[in-house]
């Protein structure tokens, strides 16, 4: 490195960043007595497209891929701890949540409910039970933006253990002993 060259300066990112992501969902044929198809998010791509929601992208033997639409991925300064967990994992992921659609638009009985890079939010949706939640690969340009966002905004918060408060012993009231006293006497 010579005296005039310097590392490329990274732009300062605001406390909240929203990136439009195109979501690709695949319909797979399954051999199951109660279902003909399995729906699964398979990829995302940054940016918007003129392609209408649920337009067919690709068809192959036993599968069809659709552009489900463009959805916002929002990064919040307060969630950097979760993003760090994602970055530190074996495979950094974008989590796409499909929920049963009230009014299905297009061929899919599901709608994209949420897109996130927070494994904590993903777990909340898994706990709901009805949602399909899939981890898909993060495009390189998006991964770089997430890492920069975390580097700029993460603040390590020291764990503080709360002290217990003294328990106030209840006296007898209305002619009965307190609940915590044993009523069984020898």
So what's the pLDDT on residue 133? 92
**C-beta of residue 144 within 8 angstroms of C-beta of residue 9:** no
Instruction: Tell me the residue ranges of DSSP E strands in the chain.
Output: 16-29, 37-46, 55-60, 63-76, 93-100, 110-116, 132-137
Please enumerate in sequence order all residues whose Cβ is within 8 A of that of 39, keeping only pairs 6 or more positions apart, or say none.
25, 26, 27, 28, 98, 108, 109, 110, 132
So what's the pLDDT on residue 166? 75
pTM over 0.85: no
User: Hey, where are the domains in the chain?
Assistant: 16-153
**C-beta of residue 116 within 8 angstroms of C-beta of residue 95:** yes
- pLDDT tens for residues 91-126? 999 999 998 888 766 778 889 999 999 999 888 888
So what's the pLDDT on residue 11? 66
Residue 14 has pLDDT above 70, yes or no: yes
Band (pLDDT 50/70/90 cuts) for residue 181 is low
Residue 2 has pLDDT above 50, yes or no: no
Band (pLDDT 50/70/90 cuts) for residue 71 is very high
Distance CA 155, CA 87 (A): 16
């Amino acid at each position: 490195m010579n005296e005039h060259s310097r590392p490329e300066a990274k732009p300062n990112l605001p406390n909240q960043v929203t990136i439009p992501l195109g979501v690709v969902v695949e319909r797979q044929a399954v051999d199951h007595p109660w279902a003909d198809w399995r729906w699964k998010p398979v990829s995302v791509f940054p940016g918007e497209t003129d392609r209408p929601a649920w337009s067919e992208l690709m068809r192959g033997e036993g599968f069809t891929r659709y552009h489900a639409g463009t959805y916002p991925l929002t990064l919040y300064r307060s969630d950097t701890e979760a993003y760090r967990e994602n970055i530190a994992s074996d495979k950094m992921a974008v989590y796409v949540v499909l929920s049963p659609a009230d009014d299905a638009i297009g061929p899919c009985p599901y709608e994209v409910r949420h897109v996130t890079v927070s494994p904590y939010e993903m777990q909340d949706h898994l706990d709901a039970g009805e949602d399909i939640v899939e981890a898909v690969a993060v495009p390189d340009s998006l991964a770089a933006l997430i890492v920069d966002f975390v580097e700029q905004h993460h603040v390590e918060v020291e764990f503080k253990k709360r002290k217990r408060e003294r328990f106030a012993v209840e006296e007898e009231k209305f002619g009965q002993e307190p609940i915590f006293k044993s009523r069984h006497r020898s």
